[in-house]
Homo-oligomer: A and B are copies of this chain.
Amino acid sequence: MVMNYNKLFSKQTLNMRSSIIREMLSSTKGIPGLISFAGGFPAPETFPKEDIAQIFADVIKNEGDDILQYGASEGDRLLKEQLRRVETDLEGLKDEEILVTVGSTNGIYLYAASLVNEGDVILAEAPSFLGSLLAFESMGADLVSIDMDDEGIIPEKMSEVAEQLKKEGKNIKFLYLIPDFQNPRGTTMSHKRRKEIIEVASEYNIPILEDNPYGPLRYAGEKVKSMYSIARYEMGNPDTVTMVKSFSKILGPGLRLAYIIGSEILIGKMCSWMQKVNVSPDCVAQRAVAEYLKRDLLMPHVETVRDFYRPRMNAMIDSMNKFMPDGLKWTKPDGGMFLWIELPEKINGDELFEKAKKFKIAFIPGSNFYPKGREKYNCMRLNFSYPTPEQIETGIERLAELIKSEM
């Protein structure tokens, strides 16, 4: 009696891609002295363990009857109250315009589930965050990327693509963007460009999903308003942009807490999906974070996080300037966790990854951030949030040696 599951799996399940990053990285484990620019993890030194421990104990002791019980699918009312108080993007929003989610990924999944049928088109930056691309593919979506310059995707190119897809009778369901400190490129879209993109999107009835996990991690330069805020408050357009923000990079991703804000009708549908997918996020974690905000601990903590990461970003930018040969291009991030290198055409990032082991360094080959079949290979993503400034300098020097040997 052996079950034949291969005859039973859904089409999406059989076509599902796993991230190959995990496998690549496990091949670097156990290399002594390896300096890794590969991960995307926040540094555990930034987790406010003592405060969080105390607050969890307090809320469970005092409010356990409530928060150990089933909670609302739309999320904890008290957390929303605190979010509105401390986050300018949320000022004046109704409860029905906010959904608390099990991390950003969950918010992105519920958004896509609300909109996408098999064969529908999702527009995206290329390169973009692999996790989202894989989730979209798993729903049978057709990923179409739009050409970019240093300010982000190009509005005229977006119009052209939308026009062309319309002619082909395709359904474009949304545009997925990471405007702040993009993953993997580390770049930030200008205010002007954001407005232009929102205009094109509105014209073609294409909603925008603004993924904003890194927003608070700005170490230099001026804050740019979120696309959500620009659309709602500057352009009088409260419907087009939906934004997902996370506590993962500032409190700890293990808590699995994020929130998504947008049009009431869309948030309502996502809430119905939440009911079926998870019932609700963890009610204890939601209330603990509400209490953390209530005690006014978040903003000072974010400052310490910025102070922790700033020297790392600077060390990477300085080392790049100091060691890298001519013929390379790289981005100059003002925040976030990543810097992106474009190599000369003939150098393949995947092959370089293998050779890098001898130089005791690791990074993510850029090909991993493109939709299937549309990969570029002469690129790589470097993370600067995990290694120390000293490791960063040493590692970039080694990487420069490796790249020179290939040129």
Point out residues on A near B: beta carbons under 8 Å. 1-13, 16, 18-19, 41-42, 44, 47, 49-50, 52-54, 56-58, 60-61, 64-71, 102-103, 105-106, 109, 113-117, 120, 131, 134-135, 138, 171, 173-174, 202, 205, 207, 235-237, 239-240, 248, 251-256, 263, 265-266, 269, 272-273, 275-285
When the two chains form their complex, are residues B9 and A269 in contact, meaning their CB atoms are under 8 A apart?
A: yes
The smallest beta-carbon distance between A398 and chain B, in angstroms, is: 26
Known contacts A256-B283, A284-B255; is-contact A277 B106 (Cβ 8 Å): yes
B254 touches A70 (CB 8 A): yes
With a CB–CB cut-off of 8 A, which chain B residues contact A174? 8
A-B contact pairs, 30 of them (CB 8 A): A1-B202, A3-B205, A8-B115, A8-B174, A8-B207, A10-B114, A42-B69, A44-B68, A49-B61, A53-B60, A53-B61, A53-B64, A56-B284, A64-B252, A105-B276, A106-B277, A106-B279, A109-B277, A131-B279, A138-B272, A138-B276, A253-B279, A255-B284, A256-B280, A256-B281, A256-B282, A278-B278, A282-B282, A282-B285, A285-B285
Bound-state Cα–Cα, A277 to B105, Å: 6
User: B52–A105 contact, CB under 8 A?
Assistant: no
Find chain B residues with CB under 8 A from A11 CB.
117
Question: Given the interface contacts A3-B240, A10-B113, A114-B10, does A255 sit within 8 Å of B68 by beta carbon?
Answer: yes
Total copies of this chain within the assembly: 2
Bound CA span A300–B251, Å: 34
Q: A239: which B residues are within 8 A, CB to CB?
A: 1-3, 5
Chain B residues, CB < 8 A from A49: 60-61, 64-65, 68
- Assembly CA distance A7 to B235 (angstroms): 22
In the complex formed, the residue of B with least CB distance to A7 is B205
Q: How far is the CA of A233 from the CA of B71 in the complex (A)?
A: 37
* Residue in chain B with minimal CB distance to A198: B1
A205–B344 alpha-carbon span in the complex (Å): 54
CA distance A2 to B47 in the complex (A): 41
CB-based contact A3/B263 at 8 Å: yes
Q: Complex: how many Å from CA A120 to CA B49? A: 47
Q: A207-B3, A207-B8, A278-B106 are in contact. Are A254 and B53 (CB under 8 A)?
A: no
Q: A13-B114, A53-B64 are in contact. Are A278 and B253 (CB under 8 A)?
A: no
Complex CA–CA separation, A105 to B23 (angstroms): 30
By the criterion CB–CB under 8 Å, are A235 and B1 in contact? yes
Contacting pair A205 B8 (CB below 8 A): yes
Interchain nearest-CB distance for A64 vs B (Å): 4
Contacts known (A41-B70, A266-B5); A278 close to B102, Cβ less than 8 A: yes
